[in-house]
């Protein structure tokens, strides 16, 4: 890429909201606001193309970029009538902010430099102009600290320690209590700190500083924390960030200045109400970083009435312009309001549903548009547990309800420990004074986050809400001793590893592990899932093996059962001995006896499920276990024989143990997952599918007798590779169904289909379809056998490294490998339908509940997806969104 073909620089007046890929979210929305006549500070944007080119060349700026920036700067100086670095005598200085602005917002992840342009030459003029020297010196010391930390990499505590020491010497608590002379002293000290830490002075030429600041923002795109955030949020690495260079406006010029953050609706609940925080005489980072605790926005009406009225009007204008809840940053400089940012606000799932529903009622959005505003995966948040209200305990303290849901876990005090223990599957709650973007890897795996400091818009709150983690922020009464690893609340001291419970919906913190209950599904949820049902084309069924699961699935909107795994019914402790006898039987008689014991148990299971599904289809899959799951372990059985031999034990016992060992050895397989599974077992022992078919038919007839209706019975043959297998198994099932119905003198419609879960089956799907009324893609085994990765070992082995190192885009057992396994599904679907155009095609692997995979299944025109009961609502949504995506709406 060269400067000739790509435009690297855009004046703010050149852009609009549609230019997000080039200008980043912040830059595009600033340009849009300017276009709408909303007051924003003037400036220009260095495009994402410049960042991408710089990153690609290992940090080298593209030719001509710096010259373009200087041209843009000159134009900005002309428009503002000010000069970077001031005029000859330092008067009339232009001060700049340099802010990152990615295409997809990454709150707090990337760098910002403020007050660029204040220096020894300009500080006096700045103070004189504002008639407030204190403000000028305060800006100067802030700049030195930010520049030193962000651009030069000086450790933050180096400056912070000096500030704390000075406040201690002056006996004050707040920065605002320091005098002009104190701040002048701090500027001198900060220069010394920089010299000490870097072995040289910070650059004093503002153009050189500007270059360094832009370069630092480019660099912040590729920091470890930014990469972790992108991976966690599925943001591509090659988007790059834009850099917004804007004239500074000052919220810290005195008591008629302020800065704040607001949302046009409540981002926790979705209620349309005033929601925000502000601080008088402060700069933006004071609010976001939680250094001073801000005031509720409503109080601004008394302090700065005109700016307040204008802000409230602008909030409404922006929301109706964007047709979405906005997250806004503003500054009031000497009573004049400026908007520094607007973007679509992050919100909880509950809020997303409420807002979407309200905006349809308000006729701002159509139902279909509203569906686009709710991420299917966000619904997971609504399925989060809450604290059982019967707990009868009192909270030990209360903070702000920053992100809803309840979390129980052991206290840990740093993000690394949280990442390590949480990553290993332990329940931990991350307790921090305040979180910073560097804590992100710990927040991701913690059950919840508790902070002592910071408001509802602090970093901890925003990040936790985005991830659906419960968070209590600003619990100011807690004391944390990180080196000593203790948390003190009142007179209670918690050591690392002690249990606490957070209620992110109320802000309450409990000093013990409380019982959690599953969440309730509210009216917004019901209304919006009903809209999704109107839009979606694919059916949504559930994978359920018990009456209880089936009932839950129906409650959550499943339209049938797509997979009832019968082997789970065989594993119950009271059944295992009979199942074992069946497998190990050495004569047909012996096997028949064992099967006769199992049959009524199976029938009972099916009766429960058919009753729960009252007329909806139920796909019962015949037995599909790797044999070893039912047999004693080979090593243990060998040891038992050895022990009996050594102890000269009971001869009869020894002989029985030896016999069993012989049988186990005979049936032992090196690769049980590729062994006598699925229909292979039924091919060896047709008595097994026969017994299961009898149980299914008898159950269906019994339920019809009792309830007047029965579920639609579909019998599914697993792990078929050859059409001849299906042909043979189908014959067994058909013969048995006919036999049972003749005996009962009844009629019942039973359809017979198969799973497509081996690559061979997908390839010869046309041959298989000759014998199948339906297919169900078993994408778990299709991934295992198609990619050649063991399902059972995958996550513990190389796969996690592959995902972390981005060798592959993600875990193919979670989200379908589109090109490979997706290709097999496509082949299976097309070839199957080439023989039977009306062939019903389902998916019952885990991917049936994964929104991204559901997108592919819609593209392939499958009939339905089937997933675990709790994922059913997500699948209903995702299926509707997939239709909208296909339509390109």
Residues near Mg ion, by CB under 5 A: 757, 778, 781
Q: Can you tell me the distance from the alpha carbon of 226 to that of 236, in angstroms, rounded to the nearest whole number? A: 11
Cβ neighbours for 371, distance < 8 A, ≥ 6 positions apart = 356, 528, 531, 532, 535, 877, 880, 881, 884
Stretch that binds ligand PEP, among 142-150, 761-769, 777-785, 830-838 (CB under 6 A): 777-785
Residue 848 CB, nearest approach to Mg ion (Å): 12
In sequence order, what DSSP letters do the residues of 741-788 get, joined into one string?
Answer: HHHHT----EEEEEEE-SHHHHHTHHHHHTT-SEEEE-HHHHHIIIII
How do beta strands 617-621 and 561-565 pair?
parallel
Would you give the DSSP letter of residue 119? S
Cite the active site residues.
Answer: 459, 844
32 binding partner (options ligand PEP, Mg ion, none; Cβ < 5 to 8 Å by kind): none
Q: Which of residues 561-580 bind ligand PEP (CB under 6 A)?
A: 563, 565
Would you give the DSSP letter of residue 521? P
Residue 865 CB, nearest approach to Mg ion (Å): 15
Residue 399 or 682 having the CB closest to ligand PEP: 682
Residue 116 or 618 having the CB closest to ligand PEP: 618
Residue 866 CB, nearest approach to Mg ion (Å): 13
Residue 166 or 763 having the CB closest to Mg ion: 763
262 binding partner (options ligand PEP, Mg ion, none; Cβ < 5 to 8 Å by kind): none
276 binding partner (options Mg ion, ligand PEP, none; Cβ < 5 to 8 Å by kind): none
Residue 261 Cα distances to 311, 437, 614, 663, angstroms:
11, 18, 52, 72
Can you tell me which of 127, 290, 557, 845 binds ligand PEP, judged by CB under 6 A? 845
Residue 234: how many other CB atoms lie within 10 Å: 12
How many residues lie near ligand PEP (CB under 6 A)? 10
Q: Can you tell me the distance from the alpha carbon of 217 to that of 220, in angstroms, rounded to the nearest whole number? A: 5
Cβ–Cβ under 8 Å, residues 102 and 47: no
Residue 327 or 757 having the CB closest to Mg ion: 757
Q: Can you tell me the distance from the alpha carbon of 602 to that of 545, in angstroms, rounded to the nearest whole number? A: 11
100 binding partner (options Mg ion, ligand PEP, none; Cβ < 5 to 8 Å by kind): none
Which residue's entry shows tokens 């991934």? 783
Stretch that binds ligand PEP, among 32-40, 227-235, 706-714, 776-784 (CB under 6 A): 776-784
Share in percent of the chain as helix, strand, coil (round to 5): 50, 15, 35
721 binding partner (options Mg ion, ligand PEP, none; Cβ < 5 to 8 Å by kind): none
The burial of 705, by beta-carbon neighbours within 10 Å (0-12 exposed, 13-18 middle, 19 or more buried), is given as exposed
Give, for 242, the enclosing helix (H) or strand (E): strand 241-247
Can you tell me which of 511, 753, 778, 842 binds ligand PEP, judged by CB under 6 A? 778
Is residue 794 a contact residue for ligand PEP (CB under 6 A)? Answer: no
**CA angle, 607 as apex, 606 and 609 as ends, to 5°?**
65
- Return the SS3 of 826: helix
850 binding partner (options ligand PEP, Mg ion, none; Cβ < 5 to 8 Å by kind): none
Residue 843 CB, nearest approach to ligand PEP (Å): 8
Is residue 244 a contact residue for ligand PEP (CB under 6 A)? Answer: no
Contact letters (x/-) for ligand PEP, 741-760, by CB under 6 A? ----------------x---
565 binding partner (options ligand PEP, Mg ion, none; Cβ < 5 to 8 Å by kind): ligand PEP
Is residue 545 a contact residue for ligand PEP (CB under 6 A)? Answer: no
Contact letters (x/-) for ligand PEP, 620-659, by CB under 6 A? ----x-----------------------------------
How do beta strands 112-116 and 9-11 pair?
unpaired
Residue 843 CB, nearest approach to Mg ion (Å): 12
Handedness of CA 246, 251, 257, 260 (dihedral sign): positive
Would you give the DSSP letter of residue 524? H
Which residue's entry shows tokens 């703010």? 12
Is residue 844 a contact residue for ligand PEP (CB under 6 A)? Answer: yes
Residue 755 CB, nearest approach to ligand PEP (Å): 7
What phi, psi does 338 have (nearest 5°)?
A: -130, 140
Is residue 779 a contact residue for ligand PEP (CB under 6 A)? Answer: yes
Can you tell me which of 546, 780, 811, 826 binds ligand PEP, judged by CB under 6 A? 780
Residue 779 CB, nearest approach to ligand PEP (Å): 5
List residues binding ligand PEP (CB under 6 A): 563, 565, 624, 757, 778-781, 844-845
């Amino acid at each position: 890429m060269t400067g000739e073909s790509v435009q690297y620089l855009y004046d703010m007046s050149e852009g609009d909201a549609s230019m997000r890929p080039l200008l980043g979210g912040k830059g595009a929305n600033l340009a849009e606001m300017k276009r709408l006549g909303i007051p924003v500070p003037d400036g220009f944007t260095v495009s994402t193309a410049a960042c991408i080119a710089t990153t690609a060349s290992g940090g080298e700026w593209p030719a001509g970029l710096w010259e373009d920036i200087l041209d843009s700067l000159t134009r900005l100086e002309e428009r503002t009538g000010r000069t970077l670095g001031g005029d000859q005598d330092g008067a009339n200085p232009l001060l700049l902010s340099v802010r990152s602005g990615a295409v997809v917002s990454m709150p707090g992840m990337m760098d910002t430099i403020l007050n660029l342009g204040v220096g020894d030459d300009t500080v006096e003029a700045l103070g004189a102009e504002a008639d407030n020297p204190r403000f000028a010196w305060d800006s100067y010391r802030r700049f030195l600290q930010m520049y030193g930390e962000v651009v030069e990499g000086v450790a933050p505590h180096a400056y912070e320690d000096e500030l704390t020491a000075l406040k201690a010497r002056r006996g004050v608590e707040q920065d605002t209590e320091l005098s002009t002379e104190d701040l002048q002293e701090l500027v001198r000290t900060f220069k010394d700190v920089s010299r000490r830490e870097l072995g040289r002075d910070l650059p004093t030429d503002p153009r050189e500083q500007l270059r360094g600041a832009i370069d630092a923002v480019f660099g912040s795109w590729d920091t470890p924390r930014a990469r972790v955030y992108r991976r966690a949020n599925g943001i591509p690495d090659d988007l790059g960030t834009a850099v917004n260079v804007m004239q500074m406006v000052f919220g810290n010029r005195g008591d008629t200045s302020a800065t704040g953050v607001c949302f046009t609706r409540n981002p926790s609940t979705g209620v349309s109400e005033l929601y925000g925080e502000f601080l008088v005489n402060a700069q933006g980072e004071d609010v976001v970083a939680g250094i001073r605790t801000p005031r509720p926005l409503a109080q601004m009406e008394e302090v700065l009435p005109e700016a307040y009225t204008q802000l409230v009007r602008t909030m409404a204008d922006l929301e109706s312009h964007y047709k979405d809840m906005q997250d806004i940053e503003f500054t009031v400089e000497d009573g004049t309001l400026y908007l520094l940012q607007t973007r679509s606000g992050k919100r909880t799932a509950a809020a997303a549903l409420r807002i979407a529903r309200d905006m349809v009622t308000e006729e701002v959005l159509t139902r279909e548009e509203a569906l686009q505003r709710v991420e299917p995966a966000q619904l997971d948040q609504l399925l989060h547990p809450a604290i059982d209200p019967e707990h009868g305990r009192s909270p030990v303290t209360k903070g702000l309800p920053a992100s809803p849901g309840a979390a129980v876990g052991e206290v840990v005090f740093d993000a690394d420990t949280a990442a390590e223990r949480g990553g290993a599957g332990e329940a931990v709650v991350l307790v921090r004074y305040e979180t910073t973007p560097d804590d992100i890897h710990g927040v991701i795996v913690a059950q919840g986050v508790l902070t002592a400091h910071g408001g509802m818009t602090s970093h901890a709150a925003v990040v936790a809400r985005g991830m659906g983690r419960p968070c209590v922020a600003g619990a100011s009464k807690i004391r944390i001793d990180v080196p000593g690893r203790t948390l003190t609340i009142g007179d209670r001291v918690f050591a690392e590893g002690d249990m606490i419970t957070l209620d992110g919906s109320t802000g309450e913190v409990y000093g013990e592990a409380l019982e959690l209950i599953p969440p309730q599904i509210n009216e917004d949820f019901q209304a919006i899932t009903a809209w999704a049902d109107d839009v979606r084309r694919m059916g949504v069924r559930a994978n359920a093996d018990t009456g209880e699961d089936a009932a839950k699935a129906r409650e959550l909107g499943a339209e049938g059962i797509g997979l009832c795994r019968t082997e789970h019914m065989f594993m119950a402790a009271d059944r295992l001995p009979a199942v074992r006898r069946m497998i190990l039987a050495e004569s047909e008689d012996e096997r028949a006896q064992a099967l006769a014991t199992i049959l009524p148990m199976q029938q009972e299971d099916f009766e429960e499920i058919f009753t729960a599904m009252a007329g909806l289809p139920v796909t019962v899959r015949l037995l599909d276990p790797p044999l070893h799951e039912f047999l004693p372990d080979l090593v243990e059985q060998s040891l038992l024989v050895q022990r009996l031999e050594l102890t000269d034990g009971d001869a009869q016992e020894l002989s029985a143990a030896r016999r069993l060992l012989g049988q186990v050895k005979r049936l032992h397989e090196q690769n049980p997952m590729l062994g006598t599974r699925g229909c292979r077992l039924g091919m060896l022992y047709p008595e097994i599918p026969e017994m299961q078919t009898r149980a299914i038919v008898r159950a269906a007839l019994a339920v019809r007798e009792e309830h007047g209706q029965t579920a639609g019975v579909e019998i599914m043959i697993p792990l078929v590779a050859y059409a001849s297998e299906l042909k043979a198994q189908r014959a067994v099932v058909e013969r048995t169904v006919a036999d049972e119905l003749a005996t009962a003198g009844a009629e019942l419609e039973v359809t017979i289909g198969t799973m497509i879960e081996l690559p061979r089956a997908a390839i010869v799907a046309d041959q298989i379809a000759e014998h199948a009324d339906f297919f169900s893609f078993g994408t778990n085994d299709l991934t295992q056998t198609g990619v050649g990765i063991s399902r059972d070992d995958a996550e513990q082995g190389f796969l996690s490294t592959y995902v972390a190192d981005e060798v592959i885009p993600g875990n193919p057992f979670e989200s379908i490998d589109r090109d490979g396994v997706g290709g097999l599904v496509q082949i299976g679907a097309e070839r199957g339908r080439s023989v039977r155009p009306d062939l019903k095609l389902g998916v019952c692997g885990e991917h049936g509940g994964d929104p991204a995979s559901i997108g592919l299944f819609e593209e392939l025109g499958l009939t339905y997806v089937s997933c675990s009961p709790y994922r059913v609502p997500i699948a209903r949504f995702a299926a509707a969104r997939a239709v909208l995506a296909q339509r390109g709406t």
